[in-house]
Structure 1
């Protein structure tokens, strides 16, 4: 079983990240015994569902799932209902509500749209949670059609200490970009990135936990965005530049001639 699980993870890493959800479902159909382990181990683009009680959209992940039901962070209810579902304690739920309110503001400031969802659950020596953010940006015109999606998954553990807490954050960003048009043809750019950080931070009350988690997620997203810009966009620009020059051949030859003339005049 362990060999099959490792092989499945290795296969998913080698396939197109854009089709992770489809490939994951196909592997689960082939080896049903791996379903639970794969769903809890493989990050995939987040799905959206409306909350029946509040009408607000929320994001689905393994951390708010119970079988085939998902818990809404806005109503704290499962859809479809689960009779014996495990819900967060009163203390954890209060922090979860405050965190959802805080990250809803964060989402609007940084993403100017999109959807956010935060889920907390208790631990023996503290609590844990996940912060989810999703933004779709489709645009189309007669000459060009482009689309993009950004999925952020931030899983953390908070261990209580005397007047402080130890936080361990694991963040994953899934990026999908696509463009097609008569001038450039079709282009797809997909990938994901995972980073971890651990840090001790002061805590005065439960509200401090929400502030601390917010700072950790904000700093991590800024770092990962800069890395993605350097790795994906910078590398793609270099590759395209090596394959096809932007200026016309006439302009390129003129520049080369000017350069040779300058070098010749300096050698005289």
Structure 2
């Protein structure tokens, strides 16, 4: 019998664990099996980490697409932190870097309009027949000492140049985590709702200049994220609410039984009149 592939086994294990702790689970697997580190970091979407650009004094988001070893490239300074040797060879070309700067400015406005806070980062890189990139958005809230929530969206796209048009492939991943310890109201108990959702889309759009790419990608990201947000709200949250409502009752069972007996007695009295 052939032995299972270690990477497949690791991915299967991660799918069965709490998505909120994916980063910690990946670190533990990498410490046990170091040769899987690169493949796991490329294959698994984890909640986005935040770093501060030492040169521009601004926060940016970290992912596998702006990473080289243990260093991460800032979208503001276009420099790796910590610095790496031969870093110039893996930086985007001058044309793609100009688009990257404009894209960061555009999605910073998008972030403020839709999320009213949080952090956004955009990274682009060259490809033989076009370019590719990723749009990262993160919003974390702590409305109370005993509750928390975070939204991480990762939009990875490829743009293939055509005559007066461009073909785009977009893969969007949303990682959502909501939690409450229940200490504020022991009757409510604790809650942990975490998970991720992935959607893909391919579209063709007209292109006049490099600015058109930013507009086209922006529309696709906005549409895809809106659809995923509505899906989470209407399907997943709605279904979870129905299930919890059927399985859990805040009043004691004795009180619920007493209420049902009272209701039956009232119906019986009304029927006998």
* 1:130 and 2:134 are equivalent in the alignment: yes
Q: How far has the Cα of 1:255 moved from its partner?
A: 5.3
Aligned residues: 262
Q: How far has the Cα of 1:71 moved from its partner?
A: 0.4
Q: How far has the Cα of 1:231 moved from its partner?
A: 3.4
Whole-Å separation in 2 of the counterparts to 1:105 and 1:23: 34
Q: How far has the Cα of 1:226 moved from its partner?
A: 1.1
Q: Which residue among 79, 93, 96 is the counterpart of 2:100?
A: 96
Q: How far has the Cα of 1:183 moved from its partner?
A: 2.9
Q: How far has the Cα of 1:31 moved from its partner?
A: 1.0
Aligned to 1:53: 55
Q: Secondary structure of the residue that 2:5 maps to in structure 1?
A: helix
Q: Secondary structure of the residue that 1:109 maps to in structure 2?
A: helix
Q: How far has the Cα of 1:246 moved from its partner?
A: 6.1
Instruction: Name segments (4+ residues, structure 1) moved above 2 Å.
Output: 180-183, 244-262
Aligned to 1:106: 110
Whole-Å separation in 1 of the counterparts to 2:226 and 2:134: 18
RMSD: 2.0
Q: Secondary structure of the residue that 1:221 maps to in structure 2?
A: helix
Whole-Å separation in 2 of the counterparts to 1:129 and 1:77: 17
The answer (yes or no) to whether the contact 2:188–2:250 under 8 Å persists in 1 is no
What are the superposed Cα offsets for residues 82-110 of structure 1, whole Å, 9 maximum, x if unpaired? 23111100100010001000000000000
Q: Which residue among 206, 211, 220 is the counterpart of 1:207?
A: 211
Which 5+ residue runs of structure 2 have no aligned equivalent? none
Aligned to 1:34: 36
- Going from structure 1 to structure 2, the CA distance change for 1:255 and 1:127 (only over 3 Å counts) comes to farther
- Going from structure 1 to structure 2, the CA distance change for 1:204 and 1:258 (only over 3 Å counts) comes to farther
Aligned to 1:236: 240
Alignment of 1:159-178 (within 5 A): 159-178=160-179
What are the superposed Cα offsets for residues 146-195 of structure 1, whole Å, 9 maximum, x if unpaired? 10011000000000001110000001000110012323111100101111
Which 5+ residue runs of structure 1 have no aligned equivalent? none
TM-score after normalising by structure 2: 0.90
Q: How far has the Cα of 1:29 moved from its partner?
A: 1.0
Q: Which residue among 178, 188, 196 is the counterpart of 2:192?
A: 188
- Going from structure 1 to structure 2, the CA distance change for 1:242 and 1:88 (only over 3 Å counts) comes to same
